[in-house]
Amino acid sequence: MAASKTFSMKLLFSLLISSFAIIRMATAGDPDILSDYIVPPNVTVVDGNFFTFTGMRSLLGAGPPTAFKASKASMAEFPALNGQSISMDVLQFPAGSISPPHTRVRATGLLFLIAGTLEVGFVDTTNKLFTQTLQTGDMFIFPKGLVHFQYNAGSTPAVAVAAFGSANAGLVSLPNTLFNTSIDDNVLALSFKTDVATIQRLKAGLTPKPRG
Ligand SMILES: *[C@@H]1O[C@H](CO)[C@@H](O)[C@H](O)[C@H]1NC(C)=O
Ligand SMILES: *[C@@H]1O[C@H](CO)[C@@H](O)[C@H](O)[C@H]1NC(C)=O
């Protein structure tokens, strides 16, 4: 009970702090719009509720997840973000869990660690790796489009808030893109300088198992 209350306080605190970061990030992002905001065609009532996202309420007081969990507030979940160059994820990392290597093709990411410790890293276009062990309270920036990852190597859960400079940051997961699509096995085997059997094993690990 006490632990979940502390977690709730941390989450609230982080959301407050991240709003400052968001204001800065909003200066570089999606193209400017020619109106104050964009209302989707199927929305008829525009009031305070349209500009409010309540989807993170369920995280407060809920127990920690058993696997890595990203709760999103992007344009899809929160339509008022359309045209505002901003979105946000709350990331929960049980001990030992990972956010596999991925990029966000349209946005820089600013990660703020609000609980635990977290290994983070990205690789730049010269193939140089930058890593850090973040402590609670630290921020780390993932430059737009570069491949990056997060890993909770600690023994306690980690929680982070990530702000993105786009309403639709465009997540590309490398394992999923490479090994969970129909890219020809030979193309992948040649690319990774391995054999088709190895590629098929990698693919099998990511493909949902048939039921029945
Ligand atoms: C508008 O359409 C979107 C996409 O189909 C849907 O998610 C949303 O709930 C709709 N909003 C309203 C107010 O009907
Ligand atoms: C692989 O793709 C399927 C279908 O798009 C999806 O349901 C599944 O979650 C993906 N697997 C992973 C590990 O992302």
pLDDT score, position 126: 98
Q: Is 71 annotated as a binding residue?
A: no
193: buried, middle or exposed (CB in 10 Å: 19+, 13-18, 0-12)? Answer: exposed
Residue among 38, 39, 42 to mutate when testing ligand 1 (max atoms within 8 A of CB): 42
pLDDT score, position 23: 47
Q: What is the mean pLDDT of each run of 10 residues along the chain (212 residues)?
A: 59 59 58 94 95 95 92 98 97 98 97 98 98 98 98 97 97 96 97 97 86 58
Contact 143, 124 (CB under 8 A): yes
Q: Is 102 annotated as a binding residue?
A: yes
pLDDT score, position 1: 46
Closest ligand, as measured to the CA of 79: 1
Q: How many CB atoms lie within 10 A of CB 79?
A: 17
| Ligand 1 in reach of 43 Cβ (< 6 A) | yes
Closest ligand, as measured to the CA of 209: 2
Question: 49 C-alpha vs ligand 2 centroid, how far in Å?
Answer: 33
| Ligand 2 in reach of 180 Cβ (< 6 A) | yes
Say how far apart CA 118 and CA 11 lie, in whole Å.
16
Domains of the chain: 2-171 (2.60.120.10), 180-212 (no CATH)
pTM assigned to the model = 0.83
